[in-house]
Each structure stands twice: as structure tokens, then as C-alpha cells.
Chain A
Amino acid sequence: MKDKLALRLAALFLIIAAILVAVATVAVRNISRATASSDWVNQTQALILELGSLRAGFHASDAALRALAMGGGEQEAAACRLALAQLADSFEVVKALTRSDPAQSAIVKRLGVLAAGRETLTTESLAARQTGKLDQVRNLLAADVAAGTAGEISRTVEKLKQEQMALLAARDSEAFRQAQTTRWTVWGGVILNFVLLAFTAWLVVDDLASRRRAAAVLQAANEQLETRVRERTAELVAANEKLQTENLERRWSAQALEHQLRYNEAIVNSLSDPVFVLTKAQNISRVNPAVAHVTGWEPPQVINRPLLGFVRLLESPRHFSPGIIDPVAQALKEGRDLRDLPAVVHDRMDREIPVRFTLFPLRDRDKVVGGVVILRLENPPA
């Protein structure tokens, strides 16, 4: 986006510079033309004026010559020579002014020939007048009128003057057009440059607005991202705390359970009387350390074996029917205690140790699932 704008601005400034250069070139060229035209106009106007003087001088000399022919004296002769001299001066000026134009030069050359004829006529007329031959003067003038020299000179000068006037008018129109062209070119260039500058300003303003919008969008996106990061972090922290809590809870639960089991086991193990825990089928599921201490049987040798393989009741309880073969099974079935019955336990050396037998049914939620047998030694060791 930035590079695109820079390219556009560079292109616009190049166009503006090109227009400025073009306008300046056109203006300078037209100014040069105007200057050259001004010189030409001055020269042409000088020529027109000089042609007027030439024509006037010619008429003056012609008038002086005729006055001389009409019987004039020295005064008219002097006037005639003065008019001739002025005519010659004007002619030299006209000749100089038309030197650069071959067509005009040719016309002026022709005028020179005619003027020379007039000078000869004047000279001859003056000479004839000095000798008093007025008739000869009149004849010379009549011959001149007949030749039409004066009229030709007058027409030629007038024609040249009219041509110069026409050229001047044409040059004036051309100068006006050039001035208009220059004016339109300069104003057109200025207006176009203003339009381009306005477009450039609009581009810059639009780009700034776009950048502001983009910055705002970016800022909003960043804020949204930060919010999401904060939320996600909070979620992770909460999840981590929950995990830690759950982990702690599990450790606590295991610890409490282990403590409870150890405590319960300690209660049984702390008894010095042998204790047997039975299943409902009278198999031994657990013993306390006193069993090994009293009988020499280690737990692996007694676990999952029938109690009757180690302990034998010497008599049935009185409240049992005489037909009951297995009072332990019957007690467990009925959920009854057997208390303080005479019995013997076989030790590892196959000796019989007299004990008092007590059985408590083991209940789990009001259901008998086994029993606990405690043997109290008849003759405990000292």
C-alpha cells in the first residue's frame, strides 16, 4: 500500500513537473516570438512612415518643379533642389529598411530607377530654367506627364505601403492569436496543475485515513488478541489450579485411606491373642502376628486354608442342637457369636495348645460375610 502510494505520488509529481516545463517552454517561446514580432513591427511601421515621407517628398519635388516651370525664380529652384535632396534621403532610408526582403528590394530598386529619372528631369529643368528656356522646361514636364512616371512612383509607393499595412495587420492578428494561445496555455497548465495537486492532496489524505483505519483495526485486533490471551491464560490458570486441587485431593484420599487401613490393621495386630479372619466358607483370609508367635505358622502357610485344619473345638455350645456337626458354620449361618469355648490349636510342631475359642460374625452392611476368631491362651506365657 505504501509503495503504491509512493509510486502514484511520484507519477503525479512527474506529470506536474512536465506540465510546468511545457507551459514554461511555450511561454518563453511565445515571449521570444513577441519580441521578434515587435522588432519587425517597429521596422515595418518605420518603413510605412518612410514610404509616406518618400511619397510626400516626391509630391513636394514635383510641385517645386512645376512652380519652377510656371516661371519661378531662384527661390523655387532652391525649393526644387531641397525637395530633391529630401527625396533622395527618404529613398536611402526606404532602401535600407527593405534590404533584407528581396521582393521589396526589387520594388525599391524600381523606385530608384524612377527616382533617378525624376532627378535627371529636375536637373535638366533647373539647367533649362537658368538659361531662361521656360518652354524647354514645360516640354520636359509634359514629356514626364506623358510617360506617367509620377503616377507610377506614386502607385508603387502606395502599393508597397498598402502591402506593409496588410502585413502589419496580419502580424497583429498573429500576435493576438499567439497571446491568446500563451494565455490559454498558461492558465490551462496552472488549472491542470491545481487539479493534479488537489488529486495528490486527496490521495495523501485518503492514504492517511486508510492508515488510521488500518491502525485502528490493528489496535482492535491486538486488544482482542490480548483479551483472548488473558482469557485463555485465566482458563489455563483455573485448569491448572483445578488439576492441582484434584491431584491434592487424590493424594489426600490415598493418604487417608492408607492411614485408615494401617490404623485398622494396627488394631488387630496389636492384640497378643491369635486372631483369624474367616471367609463364610471358614477359610482363613487374614491372621495377626500373634498367630505366628503362638503357633509358629507364618501367614502364607495358613492363608486360604480351612480353620479346622488348625483349630479344633473340644465341645459344642450348649444352646446348639446335638445334631450340629460344625458349630462354626452354623454360627456364621445364623449370625451368632460363639464365646469362650474350649479348643485346641495345632502348632507347627504338631503340638496341641489349649485355648478358649471365641467367634464373632463379620458383618458388612447387615450381611454376614465371614467371621473373626480370637483364641485366648489357657496358659499364657509369663
Chain B
Amino acid sequence: MKSHILIVDDEAPIREILAQMLGQHGFRVTEAATAAEAHQLVQRETPDLIISDLQLEESDGLAMVARIKGDRPQLPVILLTGVLFDDEVVRETLSKVVTAYLPKTTPLARILEEVRRVLES
């Protein structure tokens, strides 16, 4: 059965490229442009993984993740953002909220590896 991944990003080109790449590798992908839309989708069908941007319209990715994880604490989340954090911040702050952090400058192949790693773990 295909793993279901929810992509949350306010930029359509980012969602489109990610969805195409993940679709090519056998994943079922759902897209959301806002935190509210993402929350609705999760309520309807819980995905196997969420890939979310940090900065979203009317909210931010970490707040959205905190809200979703209130109901589904085991749901893995990869934070994929253009905001660059240093390793210490990632280790001491972000790792408590999300499963993995990737800058948006990360190549797609590396993102795919991380997706597989998170799903398998």
C-alpha cells in the first residue's frame, strides 16, 4: 500500500515539484496551501507523514504541527523550510517538535532519502 504524505506549503511551485517527485517514487501525495487546509485534511484522513514549510499564511508550520500532534502525537513531520537553523537550534529546539528538519536548499534525492528513513522508522 502506498504511503500517504501531506505536503503543506504556501508556494504552489514547491508543492508541485515535491508532489511530482514523491509521486514518481510511489507515494500518494496530498497538498495543502494553508495550516487550516492541512488541519482539515488530517482530520479527514491521517497521513503517514507531513512535510511542512515553516512560514505559512495566517500561521506557521510549527504551530500547525503542535496542533495536529495534540491529537496524533506519533505522526511524523519533516520541516522543510527556507529559514536556516544551525545545528544546535535543530538539536535542542526543533527536534522536540518535528521528526526531521531540512533546509529548502536540500536536493530532492536527499529529501527522498529522509522521507524513506522517517517512514521506515
Contacts of A245 in B (CB 8 A): 21, 24, 108-109
Within 8 A of A (CB), among B19-39: 20-21, 24
Q: Does any Cβ of B come within 8 Å of A249's Cβ? A: yes
Within 8 A of B (CB), among A220-250: 241, 244-245, 248-249
Residue on A with the closest CB to B14?
A255
Residue on A with the closest CB to B111?
A252
Smallest beta-carbon distance A235→chain B, Å:
18
Select the residue from B11, B82, B83, B105 with max chain A CB neighbours within 10 A. B82
User: Do B21 and A256 touch (CB < 8 A)?
Assistant: no
Chain B interface residue number, banded: 10 to 19
Smallest beta-carbon distance B56→chain A, Å:
13
Select the residue from A249, A259, A260 with max chain B CB neighbours within 10 A. A259
Smallest beta-carbon distance B28→chain A, Å:
18
User: Do B20 and A248 touch (CB < 8 A)?
Assistant: yes
Within 8 A of B (CB), among A8-66: none
User: Do A259 and B11 touch (CB < 8 A)?
Assistant: yes
Taking a contact as CB atoms closer than 8 A, the residue among B82, B83, B108 that contacts A252 in the complex is B108
Contacts of B83 in A (CB 8 A): 263
Contacts of B105 in A (CB 8 A): 253, 256-257, 260
Taking a contact as CB atoms closer than 8 A, the residue among A241, A244, A253, A260 that contacts B107 in the complex is A253
User: Do B82 and A259 touch (CB < 8 A)?
Assistant: yes
Q: Does any Cβ of B come within 8 Å of A251's Cβ? A: yes
User: Do B24 and A244 touch (CB < 8 A)?
Assistant: yes
Contacts of A256 in B (CB 8 A): 82, 104-106
User: Do A260 and B17 touch (CB < 8 A)?
Assistant: no
Knowing A256-B82, A259-B82, A260-B82 are in contact, say whether A249-B108 is a contact too (CB < 8 A): yes
Q: Does any Cβ of A come within 8 Å of B13's Cβ? A: yes
In the complex the two chains form, what is the Cα distance from A249 to B109 in whole Å? 8
Contacts of A241 in B (CB 8 A): 24
Knowing A245-B108, A259-B11 are in contact, say whether A251-B17 is a contact too (CB < 8 A): yes
Q: Which 5 A-B pairs have the closest CB atoms?
A: A256-B104, A263-B82, A259-B82, A256-B105, A252-B17
Can you give 19 A-B contacts (C-beta < 8 A)?
A244-B24, A245-B21, A245-B108, A245-B109, A248-B17, A248-B20, A248-B24, A248-B108, A249-B107, A249-B108, A251-B13, A252-B107, A253-B105, A255-B17, A256-B105, A256-B106, A259-B14, A260-B104, A263-B82
